[in-house]
Chains A and B, each alone.
Chain A
Amino acid sequence: MGDIQFEIDGQTVTAVPGMTVLEVARKHGIYIPTLCHHEKLEPFGGCRLCIVEVEDRGWTKYVVSCVFPAAGGIIVRTRSEKVDRLRKTILELLMAHAPDAPQLVELAKVYGADPNRYESDPSFCIHCGLCVRYCAEVAGKNAIGFVDRGINKEISFVPEIAAQYCNDCKACFPLCPTSYLQAAFVYAQAMTCSTS
């Protein structure tokens, strides 16, 4: 079933209204890389790695597939020279912060990303927001959030809530694509212990 038909990488796919291009692609076993997407969470659209090329009535545009709604008649290309170039730059920008994150290392091979292209500043968190959103949307605890904005944006545990729930939960830990979340938690814990 499915009342929308369109094309991804030459293959005809079907979808129901409300589905995103990423969902449709996954359903049909077509791979699109993502860093900030998680099936259980609201789309965030922050990493921009899932960018694809869409041809719609003769117009070509670049959209992120995790939020782009499936529409009849469009032609989606998950890889093209430009898509690959954009993904390569995004990976290189992230590797300046987290050069050893396994997912990034893996993807870097595919897109020929050079981890040393940009000045490095190993701060590890890549701001995918998975931990923050998981805690808010699934765990329902809001024990961790983003503070500040722009290049100063950081994740931060809310000490009172974290002290109460995190030790028994830790459900967001495996979601983190870098080792940063765990480190931040240990650090936050050390801080609370030493002050209490």
Chain B
Amino acid sequence: MARLETPEALESFRQEILSRRDPDSPCVSICAGAGCVASGADEVIAVFEKEIEAKGLSATVSTKGTGCPGFCEQGPVVVIYPEEICYLQVQAKDVPEIVAQTIENKQVVERLCYKDPATGERAVKESDIPFYRSQQRTVLCNNIKIDSKRIEDYLALGGYAALAKALGQMTDLEVLEEVKKSNIRGRGGAGFPAGRKWEGSRNAKEPIKYVIVNADEGDPGAFMDRALLEGNPHSILEGLILGGYAVGAHEGYFYVRQEYPLAVKNIHLAIQQAEHYGLLGENILGSGFDFKVIVHQGAGAFVCGESTALMTSLEGKAGEPRPKYVRSNVKGLWERPSVLNNVETWANIPLIIDKGADWFTSVGTDSSKGTKIFSLVGKITNTGLVEVPMGMTLREIIYDIGGGIPNNKKFKAVQTGGPSGGCIPEHLLDLQVGFDELTKAGSMMGSGGMIVMDEDTCMVDVARYFIAFLTDESCGKCVPCREGLRQMHRILTNITQGKGKQGDIELLEELAETAVEASLCALGKSAPNPFLSTLKYFREEYEAHINDKRCPALACKELINFYIDPDRCTGCGTCRKQCPADAINGDKNLIHIIDQDKCTRCGTCFEVCPPKFSSVVKLSGEPVPDPVPEEERTIRKKTKEKG
């Protein structure tokens, strides 16, 4: 197939691809995303191919390794079309059975289907699984239908139709107006309206302009951008070309972190394929519009995701933020107008152009439109990527999709927005997710990280943890961030170790104000959030640590003691055998006691004491009772006791 010279040629090529495909013939999609590969997806794919070949089914049944559908925890995930039968945790040894039962005999292999932990009910189709049922997957949904290495798969699903529409039927200004009308706000952090950013670049005097994909994804634990880059690179590329057209740029960049080699590979391949068909390069689809794309691998420091640091790094210098009060969309890369948007933002653009701004704005809250992908992790039953309409409540995400908190623990807080986001407490669970809603609650949308915390989490320690991360990631250029965070971290550490003093909270507040108001870049400006939000909602925990040397969540090692309840200890000896510090004294039929001087508070005894006894308890802020006197340590079996 040669270059496509017109939008019509693209359309007939699409029809040709579709005509070669029988929608009723079986297709086995196996997720080849990072999570599933880690649990053996590559082998599963290979065995499927072999088995299908061996059975002589190759002509009618296709196999493909696809992008990540989000339910990584249950991987490898296999979906069999056209019925959409979804199998989870599939291993190579399950493959012959799937081929024989499902593909040849159209029978469902029940044991591989999702089983509701509460009711025991099985869900056969992907869309019947509660994890997926309440989601609205407009951006992520194609991941499982596409072999990201084949542009034909993307085209078959309507890929590049938006580009053909824009170049064939719309002026560049109309494309911009559509994006402005959609009100889409950036998915990577601050939530700035993309259309307004684009317009600023378009109107800037300098004629050479750039469009850039921020694929740095520095938030630890977040992988939504990665899933899109690896699973559906053409959607981002198409968005970027549309952006270039709308602002008048002829050059685009992918800034991808080095830790994502598969993403880099897939994007290179996508670029090559798009160039081959004339969807990229000179005179795209015969429209006269030229656009080229360059891929740049970033060194992978968290701060490199910040817009000015990213551009400095693209210029080949150290990735440090620049002190500027002129926006990058007017003076960015090489001092030229540059539109920088997040991966997910770009992936939404083809949908907006294809389906229209009205379709896009029909979903969401007043100020936040469309859907948002979150990475749901922490103390939650179903972890993974979830895509929901803006405006869904935290409760719906955590309970309906996430399946709630495991082990009958109580929900305590959800941390949103990445390391510099904030913690939202239980009484705000009905908060709708949206940029302004989250900011008002003292947190932020950030790039969509969501960490669920249960009752065992100490909020002071959480603040300490995130500030520690940010202290490490500070570039060190400006004083409020470098020095302020260092001191905040030191004070928070002291508090969690029982060395907190009167006045520490005030000192922290002062440092927080200085970082927020005076830091050079948004890393420092938002870094105090973990402290400020936990202080706002959990102030009593700070006070308990400082005033009573007590950790209410019983989490801070230096503030707790382990103690064996003499009335519950059965003398089973489990804790004694496993205590690495030899701190436990006991014997058969003897109540066990912990030598507090030897105990290192590792918590092993607490974890290993059989749940039916639960004799080991944590104490904080109260004296440890004296050990049982030697003569009373013999355990008398209560049932056999006489009279």
Contacts and interface: CB of A to CB of B under 8 A. Distances in A.
Contacts of A149: 301, 474-476
A63 B482 contact: no
Interface stretch (B176-184, B360-368, B513-521): B513-521
A45 B613 CA distance: 61
Given A89-B511, A119-B490, A46 B517 contact: no
Interface stretch (B238-246, B321-329, B543-551): B321-329
Interface string A43-70: 1111111010000000000111011110
B478 A48 contact: yes
A151 B323 contact: no
B520 A48 contact: yes
A151 B520 contact: no
A149 B474 CA distance: 7
A49 B514 CA distance: 11
A69 B330 CA distance: 14
Contacts of B483: 93-94, 96-97, 151
A178 B479 CA distance: 15
Contacts of A46: 323, 477-479, 520
Interface in B352-366: none
Given A93-B479, A93-B514, A150-B476, 17 more contacts: A44-B477, A46-B323, A47-B478, A47-B479, A48-B478, A48-B518, A48-B520, A49-B479, A66-B323, A67-B324, A67-B325, A90-B479, A90-B518, A94-B479, A127-B476, A149-B301, A153-B476
Contacts of A118: 487
A48 B471 CA distance: 18
Contacts of B487: 93, 96, 118-119
A163 interface: no
B486 A90 contact: no
A183 B197 CA distance: 48
B35 interface: no
Contacts of B474: 149-151
Contacts of A96: 483, 487
The secondary-structure label for the interface of chain B is: helix
A44 B323 contact: yes
Rank and list the top 8 A-B pairs by shortest CB-CB distance, nearest first.
A45-B323, A153-B476, A93-B483, A150-B474, A89-B514, A150-B476, A48-B518, A67-B323
A45 B301 CA distance: 21
A175 interface: no
Interface in A77-112: 82, 85-86, 89-90, 93-94, 96-97
B69 interface: no
B480 A150 contact: no
A64 B471 contact: no
Contact of B513 (A86, A148, A152): A86
Contact of A90 (B325, B476, B514): B514
Interface string A160-190: 0000000000000000000000000000000
B591 to A, nearest CB: 45
A69 B477 CA distance: 21
A150 B479 contact: no
Contacts of A119: 487, 490
A152 B471 CA distance: 10
Interface of B: 301, 323-326, 471-480, 482-487, 490, 507, 510-511, 513-514, 517-520
22 contacts: A44-B323, A46-B323, A47-B478, A48-B480, A64-B520, A89-B513, A89-B514, A90-B514, A90-B518, A94-B483, A118-B487, A119-B487, A119-B490, A127-B477, A150-B471, A150-B472, A150-B474, A150-B476, A151-B471, A151-B474, A151-B482, A151-B485
Residue of B474, B483, B484 with most partner-chain A CB within 10 A: B483
Interface of A: 43-49, 51, 62-64, 66-69, 82, 85-86, 89-90, 93-94, 96-97, 117-119, 126-127, 146, 148-153
A119 B482 CA distance: 14
Contacts of B485: 151
A155 to B, nearest CB: 11
Contacts of A47: 478-479
A86 B476 contact: no
Nearest to A94: B479
B495 to A, nearest CB: 14
B472 to A, nearest CB: 6
A127 B510 CA distance: 22
Nearest to A129: B477
A46 B482 CA distance: 10
B323 A43 contact: yes
A90 B471 CA distance: 17
Nearest to B301: A149
Contacts of A82: 517
B443 to A, nearest CB: 22
Nearest to A45: B323
A82 B482 CA distance: 21
Residue of B324, B479, B485 with most partner-chain A CB within 10 A: B479
Given A45-B478, A67-B325, A151-B476, A51 B518 contact: yes
A31 to B, nearest CB: 19
B299 to A, nearest CB: 11
A86 B323 contact: no
A23 to B, nearest CB: 14
Contact of A62 (B475, B518, B520): B518
A69 B478 contact: no
Contacts of B323: 43-46, 64, 66-67
Nearest to A118: B487
Residue of A44, A126, A151 with most partner-chain B CB within 10 A: A151
Contacts of B510: 85, 89
A69 B326 contact: yes
A165 to B, nearest CB: 23
A51 to B, nearest CB: 5
Contacts of A151: 471, 474, 476, 482-483, 485-486
Nearest to A117: B507
A99 to B, nearest CB: 14
Nearest to B519: A48
Contacts of B484: 89, 93
A89 B516 CA distance: 13
A161 to B, nearest CB: 18
Nearest to A47: B479
Contacts of B325: 63, 67-69
Contacts of A44: 323, 477
A46 B480 CA distance: 9
Nearest to B324: A67
Given A46-B520, A89-B514, A150 B473 contact: yes
Nearest to B483: A93
A69 B326 CA distance: 9
A44 B323 CA distance: 7
A86 B482 contact: no
A67 to B, nearest CB: 5
A67 B518 CA distance: 13
A85 B490 CA distance: 21
B471 A62 contact: no
Contacts of B477: 44, 46, 127
B479 to A, nearest CB: 5
A45 B520 CA distance: 7
Given A44-B323, A119-B487, A127-B482, A86 B520 contact: no
A119 B325 CA distance: 33
